Amino acid sequence: MKKIKTILTAIIISLTVIIPVFTFDWPQDNISAKKFFSFFGQKRANTISNSLIFSEAETAKVCDNGQVAVIITEHEDGFNWFESTLGNAVVVAHEDSLSTVYANLDQDNFNQQLFLNPEVTTGTELSTTGNSAWQEEESYLEFQIIDTKNHNYINPLILMPRIGKEESLTLTNITLQNKFGKFYDLETQRNIPAGVYKIYRKKQNLAVPYKTAVSVNGSESEKITFDTLKMAEDELAIEGNYFYPVNKLYIENDLMLMGELYLAHGKDTISVIVTDFSGNERSRVFNVTVF
């Protein structure tokens, strides 16, 4: 467990390399891309999701040795009417200030030993997953990793064994928006006024990239990574050159921010790249005339 801090630091600092070293086991069995209802970093109502949500009801298990810090039940607050948004949940504290959260559990099937002995080991069964949390459709276990020292949520995909073939990332509807809010569709418009722009791609229903990168004439303008979520002005935000809360990361419900760039007069080449958690890249290049 002493290796967690070193591994996590290396992952966050080295954003251009996917490091194939894992610190936690999966909280459910037989993991594949089809096992997930939604991913960390997706738009979720009026925020950015800090959870990995599973799509099948199974038994939730502890990811690594630790100590049960909190057991949440739906009416634990004592008011007997306001339910926890996580539903029934267990929080396990691990070494190096990391905690894992297992939510949307079925209280009727709780492992009763959790109430008697807080010490747990990798694979300790918690409960079957249910529908106690504030979720939608056929969604079950809600899983989070929290860095309590730095007050960040960590994307579980960077600390877990690979899930095999990921859903393919796409680069469609590449769109520029200037400071006045006007849009330019790079799929059809190649004559663009000079200035500073936000650049967007079409949001996918499920897949979320590990990182996105934007370059102009070979010089990187911005890189946005989906490894952690931080609180910025009381909102969860993804970090690039700036902190981007949900209303800046996702606009018009179907566009996802890739970064900011400056277009100077002349012939400019815009390059956009998306990278998944296995290191697979997809890129596109647009040659534009800037006036």
Mean pLDDT of 191-203: 97
From 212, 284, 195, select the one nearest 249 (Cα to Cα).
212
- What DSSP designation does 7 have? H
Q: Which of 186, 248, 261 is nearest to 221 (CA)?
A: 261
- Does residue 105 share a domain with residue 40? yes
Residue 264 lies in a domain: yes
Q: What is the pLDDT of residues 15-67, one digit of tens each?
A: 334 444 568 999 998 888 788 989 999 998 889 999 999 988 899 999 999 99
Look at residue 88 and tell me if it is in a domain. yes
Taking 60 as the threshold, does the pLDDT of residue 244 lie above it? yes
Q: Are residues 105 and 225 in the same domain?
A: no
Residue written as tokens 């926890």?
A: 84
CATH number, domain containing residue 141: 2.70.70.10
Same domain, 198 and 120: no
Tell me: do 195 and 64 sit in the same domain: no
| Residue 219 buriedness (CB in 10 A; 0-12 / 13-18 / 19+) | exposed
Question: Both 9 and 151 in a single domain?
Answer: yes
